[in-house]
Chain A
Amino acid sequence: MRFVLMIVMLAFAGSVQLHAQAPGAPAGNVENGKKLFVNRACFQCHGYVGQGGQAGARLTQRNFSWNYFVSYIRKPSGQMVPYTAKVLPEQEVADIYAWIKSLPPPPAVNTIPALKDLK
């Protein structure tokens, strides 16, 4: 029985990872979101792990809502290229959103020798 419970819990944890759902957002497939982030060229500006760079904002560990995310992608107020529903349907946006929200936090500054003692 304990073994069955363990299996059920593991499956549940796996499904939570695979199909994440941030508040207000439709359920998204994290694995598919990761693939789409590359295949829809998001990484070209935002980096492979959403870290941002010269051309695109950091996406990981940001506190933006689903509504903000999808509306900005469709009609960016800055220089970002627009992704219309024809190019990136809502479910794909949800998958990408889920993947971004699943990204782990970075290492702390004080654990990185090249940064921790920097004046």
Chain B
Amino acid sequence: MAKATHLDRRGFLKGAALGAAAGATTIVSAPLAAAATPKAESAPEAPPLSPLITGQALATETAPLPEDAGFVVNDPGSDFMVDVIKSLGFEYIASNPSSSFRGIHESFLHYGSNKGPEWITCLHEEVSVNIANGYYAVEGKPMAVMTFAPCGMMHASMGILGSFVGHIPTFVLCSSILDAVERRPSTDWWEHAVMDPAAMVRDITKWDDTPVSLQHFAESSVRAYKMAMTEPRGPVMIVVDGGMAEKPNPNHSKLHIPKLTLDTPPVGDPNAIAELAKWLVAAENPVIVAGDVASGEEGSKLLVELAETLQAPVMGGGRSMPNHHPLAGGANLGTADMILALNEISLFNVLNDYRDQAVRYSTPRLKPGTKIVTISSYDLFQKSNYQAVDRFQEVDMAIAGDPEATLPSLIEACKKLITADKRTAYDARGKRFASAWAQAHERAKVECTYGWDASPISTQRLSMELYDVIKDKDWALVGPNSNRLWNFDKFYRRQGDVGSGGGVGGDFPCTIGGALAHKKHGRLVVSMQKDGDMMFVNNAMWTAVHHKIPMLIVMLNNRAYHQEVMHLQRMANRRQRGVESFAMGAPGVFIREPNIDFAMLAKSMGAYAEGPISNPNDLRPALLRAVEQVEKGQVALLDTITQPR
């Protein structure tokens, strides 16, 4: 029989009123309640409880405890789980709390000392995952997320879709309470336990597992990390059983965490590469269409080397291709006789003009006979339900392999075939592209001047005033926006379009994740933030401020879901009705009346903020003040009212 506590339980419960039968947790003494209630007020006295309820409460408090009624757990299972997660080298883990993972949460903080990984507090699970996505885009290594089934997982699923579409290896831990006996009555059933938690996101993850022992957890977690990082990369999920996490682990020292050994990236078939090199060298107007090629500065150098070897322009490429390189852009698909596409997921869209009119059709941009070759790892892993692909593009050769890993052999093969005559022809071609690039660059400056003094502020003015303030610093742009006049001379200057797969609401937390990765490098991080996207997930601002992630957020506040404004306009015009009524205020697409005060919103969460700013002459002084704050470690926001596009 357990030792009674020193509390006089009978005395405590004397005259008690208890809602135990109804699940109540407050015990109030009826005589005490009566004494506390002013007699002058009209509050009615609590009705006395029945002898039955009082008796039940008394019995619960005074009944002898079972032999195995433990109060302390040494070496909980979750401590070992933290050992496993730490072995994988995560810098951060983003999360919104839940009781079903209270065990592992506490282990991360105390046993794990809240380091490697450090806990990042988020106010919504979609934000957690997208912060992780944005972090990976800059850091090049996965970040962990902790959430729970079903509610947290459902919130997180939008971010996980972003991971899936963006080939981002976000590592998601999802708690559930698998053993029904371990679940608290009612609370832990539909709110905290799902029989197959991963099923919700199985269509948008690369791999998942539900370990049922701690050794199983270790092996599955290491395998999951490996799967996530195998090309093509993608998100993975490991279910954390809340019961297993909270139980003692007497065998801690006997458990083993396997060594992590990542797969080398797949390289294109040597014979195919040799043939491709022949085609490329023989082509008169080759064009390289680049998707997500480089994983870092070295990958970018390889793409540049290929382009320079062939003096072939690179179309797209994002941050894989320095945009001020003379071979960046400038491609004319109409005159191309050879297309090399590298990890371009939307190749059909690139090579065809699509018309969204009452009758839809696509027109090829290429002339007949143009050869098309792809090098891509994306065909090595695809899912059917969420089809992160485009219309099927027929090609002449499809080489399965990671482009970055394959480029060295392709470059070498090309160099061996290039004769002196070919080199002379290439040099002439290169000069033409360089000249065209320079002219386009000057034209782009002139294009910026149109609407320069307009109010609302033109997006070009906003972009160039911002660049002028940061260009001489060690800056980095996060988020999907870009401008050809900005000199993205280093890979880290851009984050890429990492948030768009997560839909509206994906961008803002991705920018914060990117800023988190940039923080240790001391870079000045800036973003141009759309208002509609921000409003889905504005709570992410708090996370940035709380974790002292300095960044400058310049709003692209056009007070609308402007894509949808244009779509509705298209429908009205097509149907020849309502054009005027839609012009300024179609229901469902405008974010006005009231206008959102983003500066106030940001300040409410501790950020420095100014706005709304609609006079373009007020921009530069505001930007200078805001940058000064960011350089002091603040999050700063400028609410700038812009033209629609």
Contact = CB atoms under 8 A, between A and B. Distances in A.
B583 interface: yes
B35 interface: no
Contacts of B465: 114
B643 A51 contact: yes
A82 interface: yes
B6 interface: no
A58 B453 CA distance: 15
Interface residues of A, number: 40
Contact of A40 (B454, B562, B580, B620): B580
Contacts of B582: 41
Contacts of B460: 51, 53
B452 A107 contact: yes
Interface string A54-68: 111010110000000
A86 B452 CA distance: 34
B445 A118 contact: yes
A50 B570 CA distance: 19
B487 A119 contact: yes
Tell which of A53, A78, A79, A118 has the most Cβ of chain B within 10 Å.
Answer: A118
Interface stretch (B193-201, B492-500, B571-579): B571-579
A47 B645 contact: yes
Tell which of A41, A50, A56, A61 has the most Cβ of chain B within 10 Å.
Answer: A41
A38 B299 CA distance: 47
B213 interface: no
Contacts of A79: 355-356
Contacts of B468: 113-114
A109 to B, nearest CB: 5
Interface in B484-522: 485, 487
A38 B573 contact: no
Contact of A47 (B357, B451, B579): B451
B566 A114 contact: no
Interface in B134-149: none
A49 B485 contact: no
Given A40-B580, A41-B582, A107-B449, A82 B573 contact: yes
A88 to B, nearest CB: 8
Contacts of A54: 459, 645
Tell which of B355, B448, B451 has the most Cβ of chain A within 10 Å.
Answer: B451
A81 B574 contact: yes
Q: Is the interface of B mostly helix, strand, loop or mixed?
A: helix
A41 B569 contact: yes
Contacts of A38: 583-584
A55 B566 CA distance: 9
B303 interface: no
A107 B453 contact: yes
Given A79-B355, A82-B574, A113-B468, A45 B644 contact: yes
B454 A44 contact: no
B449 A108 contact: yes
B591 interface: no
A115 B644 contact: no
Q: How large is the interface on B (under 10, 10 to 19, 20 to 34, 35 or more residues)?
A: 35 or more
Contacts of B306: none
B579 A40 contact: yes
A13 B588 CA distance: 45
Q: Is the interface of A mostly helix, strand, loop or mixed?
A: loop
A118 B449 contact: no
Contacts of A45: 566, 644-645
Interface in A43-102: 43-45, 47-56, 58, 60-61, 76, 78-79, 81-84, 86-88
A86 B584 CA distance: 20
B130 to A, nearest CB: 23
Nearest to A119: B487
A106 interface: yes
A48 B454 CA distance: 8
Nearest to B582: A41
B154 to A, nearest CB: 33
A39 B580 contact: yes
Given A51-B643, A81-B574, A86-B576, A112 B452 contact: yes
Nearest to B455: A48
B448 A115 contact: yes
A109 B643 CA distance: 21
B249 to A, nearest CB: 56
26 contacts: A39-B583, A39-B584, A41-B569, A41-B583, A43-B644, A44-B569, A45-B566, A47-B451, A47-B643, A49-B451, A53-B460, A53-B643, A53-B644, A58-B447, A81-B574, A84-B576, A87-B573, A87-B577, A87-B579, A108-B449, A109-B445, A109-B449, A113-B468, A114-B464, A114-B467, A114-B468
Given A38-B584, A82-B573, A114-B620, 6 more contacts: A39-B583, A44-B566, A51-B454, A84-B576, A87-B579, A108-B449
Q: Which 7 A-B pairs have the closest CB atoms?
A: A51-B451, A53-B645, A51-B450, A41-B583, A106-B449, A114-B468, A81-B573
Interface of A: 38-41, 43-45, 47-56, 58, 60-61, 76, 78-79, 81-84, 86-88, 106-109, 112-115, 118-119
